[in-house]
């Protein structure tokens, strides 16, 4: 049960990182001088995020699908890292 909570915590951390990047990236792009950008990538027909910059106005939107993919990605990264650590410990012993 503890392993499940650690994995879920890792997934939530990765999903929160996704939210932070989506909401901060338009500000960084504006500071770098970009003033006309529209980005709305999709995967399997569903949008991952939406960022629009026009002049000094920007709109940033994270989607449920992107959040869920980030959560699943965090879970996968946690389990793969645990497999690597356990295999390294076995070879070192």
Which pLDDT belongs to residue 25? 92
Structure tokens given for 78:
């946690």
pTM here is 0.82
Flag whether pLDDT at 93 surpasses 80: no
Flag whether pLDDT at 91 surpasses 90: no
Question: Could you report the per-residue pLDDT of 34-70, keeping only the tens digit for each?
Answer: 888 899 999 999 999 999 999 889 999 999 999 999 9
Question: Could you report the per-residue pLDDT of 6-21, keeping only the tens digit for each?
Answer: 888 889 999 999 999 9
CA angle 31, 35, 14 (to 5 degrees): 60
Which pLDDT belongs to residue 49? 92
How does 44-55 read in b/e, with b if 16+ C-beta sit within 10 Å?
Answer: eeeebbbbebee
CA angle 78, 79, 80 (to 5 degrees): 95
């Amino acid at each position: 049960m503890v392993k499940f909570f650690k994995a879920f915590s890792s997934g939530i951390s990765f999903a929160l990182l996704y939210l932070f990047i989506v909401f901060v990236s338009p500000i960084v792009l504006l500071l770098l001088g970009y003033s006309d950008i529209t980005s709305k990538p999709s995967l399997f027909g569903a949008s991952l995020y939406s960022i629009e910059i026009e002049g000094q106005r920007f709109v940033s939107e994270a989607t449920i699908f992107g959040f869920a993919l980030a959560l699943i990605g965090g879970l996968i990264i946690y389990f793969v890292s645990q497999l690597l650590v356990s295999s390294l410990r076995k070879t070192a012993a």
